[in-house]
Amino acid sequence: MADPHVTAARGPGAAPGQDGIALWRRIADSLRRETPAGEHAPGDRLPSESVLAERFGVNRHTVRRALAALAGDGLVRSEQGRGTIVRGRPLDYPIGPRTRFSEIVSRQARAPSGRLIAADEMSAEPDVAAALGIARGTPVLRLETLSAADGIPLNVATSWFPAERLPGFVAHYAETGSITRALQRCGVADYQRRETRVTARIADAQDALALGIAPGSPLIATESINADTEGRPIQYSLARFAADRVQIVVET
């Protein structure tokens, strides 16, 4: 049965309803009303275009236009392999002396998690060696990780650590899903953010797959160095955030 809030007109789908409002706009308004009512919570996937077309008694072109309007208002996003997802408020991501992913996410009543994608040991290339304050060619650990809040991927990161100082680090991260806890297990009780550089880039196929977004989607990229309490660099990281899921907050 067609939705009673929408009066359908068969055909191209752009014909106005009885009150003169185009059908696609009436559908968009109907879906918009359902979001604050809790019928479609942030992170939920909307029904498929064909299901919505059946519900509202219109063709898929009309539904597609309604969804495009909602996306333009920032209420939904399209994710590769998932469909149309209801957007929540972007997570505030403060950058300051103590930048801890788990703490940041937990303070906003969300559940943090981390997953190891890949890890290997390599010789430090010039840029990595300079960031970690070590000689070129020194053994370093390279980790590819995925961090999420409430199961929704927020960032994928490539990080390098001095291998000699952190025996067992990869296994500790794989078990805990936390850089902080893995460092603690290796004897690094605390650390602080030395510097962060923020840039913009677009998602390549690999990052898009990990984050569940379309290739070419905008990313917020951060290049950061963390140092232990003695001021020695312990982590050099390049993180790529899904731009519509976080907003960077610079703490002073």
Distance CA(164)–CA(202), nearest Å, equals: 34
Cα 61 to Cα 56, 57, 64, 69, distances in angstroms: 12, 12, 5, 13
Helix axes 49-56, 23-34, angle to 10 degrees: 110
Q: What is the pTM of this model?
A: 0.72
Helix boundaries (H) for the chain: 23-34, 49-56, 60-72, 101-107, 126-132, 169-176, 179-185, 205-211
Residue 130: both structure tokens together:
């300079």
Write out the chain's pLDDT in tens, 252 residues.
Answer: 556 555 544 444 444 454 557 899 999 999 888 876 557 777 788 999 999 999 999 999 999 999 998 887 778 888 777 788 887 778 899 999 989 999 999 998 889 999 999 999 999 999 999 999 999 999 999 999 999 998 889 999 999 999 999 999 999 999 999 999 999 999 999 999 999 999 999 999 999 999 988 899 899 999 999 999 999 999 999 999 999 889 999 877
Q: What pLDDT score does 4 carry?
A: 53
Number of other CB atoms surrounding residue 162 within 10 Å: 22
Q: Which residue has the tokens 């929540």?
A: 88
Q: What pLDDT score does 1 carry?
A: 53
Residue 213: both structure tokens together:
């977004």
Q: What pLDDT score does 11 carry?
A: 44
Distance CA(43)–CA(41), nearest Å, equals: 6
